[in-house]
Amino acid sequence: MSASLRVPTAPHGAATRTSPLPSTSPGAATALLDAYRPGTDRFLASSRHTLLAIGTSAEVPHDARPLSLRVREVLDARRRAGDPAPIVVGALPFTPDAPPSLAVPQSVRRAPALCEDPLIALPGPAAEPGTWQTREVPAAADYAASVAAAVRRMRAGEFDKVVLARTLELISSHDLDLPAMLRRLAQHDPKGYTFALPSGPGRTLIGASPELLVARAGNVLTANPLAGSAPRSDDLAEDVRRAATLLESPKDLHEHAVVVDAVREALAPFCVSLDVPERPTLVRTAAMWHLSTTVTGTLADPGTSSLDLASALHPTPAVCGTPTDVARAVIAESEPFERGAYTGMVGWQDADGDGEWVVTIRCAEAEGRSLRLFAGAGVVAASSPEAETAETGAKFRTFLSAVGAAL
C-alpha cells in the first residue's frame, strides 16, 4: 500500500473531518495501517473496526475534575465549533491521577476490522537486521524473588492477588521503523487490538493487546476480562494439551474468577441487566492462551459514557490485584520502574458516549532508538516464581518478534 492514500491534516483548530462510513473495499483497513505516521497519528484497530486519527485539534486537559467530565467538555466544545462528529483518541496511564494522553484529532479515517481485510495476510516488511542491546529491569532472578515474597505474604493472609511486571529495555543500532513494527504486530494477531499513538513528547506507545476493558454502543456494554494464561507451543499436540490444562487449572480459574467478580461488582450499578457466564472460555494469541469471559449488559442511564464505565473498572485485578490499594502498594514496593501507560487503557470515545477502551498490555514505549517492553503476571498464593517469570518471558515474545530481537 502506498502512503499516498493518506488524508492531509487540517489547519490547527479546524473541525475534525470524520469519514461518515468506513470504506468496505478490500485493502481499506491495511491502507490505514500503511498510512500511519508516528508523532502525529493515532492508530487503533479492534475486532470491530480500524481507525486512523490524524493530527490534533484539541487536547483533554489534566486537572482535578473527573476525566469523563473533561472529555465531555472538550467534545461539546468541538461540536459547538462546527465539528459534527468529534471523538477523543489516546491513552490513559496506570495511575488514575497521572496526566492523560487524549486528543481530538483533526481528521479521522475508518475501515472495517483488519481481520476482515484479505490483504493483511500478504507478507509484510521483514525486521531490518541490526544490533540490539538488551537489559532486563528487574533481572529475571530478582523478579522471581519478588514473586516469591508476594506469595509468602498472600499465604500469610495479607492480600489475595497482585500483578507484578518487569521490563525489557532495548536499544537499536539504527533508527526505529515504527510503521513497519506496527504492521508486523497487526499481522501477528489481526483479531486483536493493535495500537500506536503519542504517549508524551517524543514518545510513542505501540502494542497489540488481547484484552477489551469495556465498549459501549448505545445502551449496550461489553467487557472481556482475561486472567489466567499459558504460553503457546509450536507443537500442535502440546499446544492443545496446554490449552486443556489451563481450562481446568484451579490456580488459573481462581485468578480468573477474582477478576470477573470485580468486573461484575464494578459494572452492576450501571446496568438494568448484566450477563456474566459461569465458566470462562479460551482465547488465543500468537504467543499465549488466556482464560476469557465476555460480559454484556444493558445500561440503566443512557448518559453513562464508555469512559464512565472504563474509569469504574480501572484498574481491574487483572492488571493490579486485590484488594486494589494493597496491591498498588505491593507493586510500588516491588517494581523498580514507573509503569506509565502500561496497564492503563487505550481507546476512543465520541460525543454521544460510545467508545472502546482496551487494556494496555503487550506493548512498548518507543523513544529515539530505544524501546521499553512491559510484561506482567498475575500472582496468587498458589503461584510459582519460576512459572510466573516464564510467563512474562512468553509475553515479551509478541513484541520481540515484531522487532527481530530475542530474549
Query: What separation in angstroms does the CA of 218 have from each of 27, 84, 234, 352?
Result: 29, 18, 41, 8
Beta partners for residue 347, in sequence order: 90, 357
C-alpha cell at 139: 533481572
Residue at 199: amino acid letter = S
Residue from 59, 116, 169, 211 carrying the catalytic annotation: 211
Rounded Cα distance between 236 and 240, Å, is: 6
Pairing of strands 321-322, 281-284: unpaired
C-alpha cell at 98: 497521572
Asked if residue 398 lies in contact with residue 208, where contact means CB atoms within 8 angstroms, the answer is: yes
Asked if residue 62 lies in contact with residue 102, where contact means CB atoms within 8 angstroms, the answer is: no
- 238 is a catalytic site residue: no
- 251 is a catalytic site residue: no
* 186 Cα distance to chain centroid: 13
- Own/partner pairs, 259-263, CB within 8 angstroms, 24+ separation: 259/225, 259/226, 259/227, 259/316, 259/317, 259/318, 260/225, 260/227, 260/293, 260/295, 262/316, 262/317, 262/322, 263/223, 263/225, 263/293, 263/295, 263/313, 263/316
Beta-carbon contacts of residue 265 (< 8 Å; ≥ 6 apart): none
Secondary structure class of 300 (helix, strand, coil): coil
What is the number of other CB atoms lying within 10 angstroms of the CB of residue 309? 27
Cα atoms in the Cβ-side hemisphere of radius 13 Å centred on 391: 25
Residue from 161, 365, 388, 391 carrying the catalytic annotation: 161
Identify the CA nearest to 167 among candidates 328, 288, 339: 339
| Phi-psi category of residue 269: left, alpha or beta, with phi > 0 → left and psi -120 to 50 → alpha | alpha
Question: Which residues carry out catalysis?
Answer: 161, 211
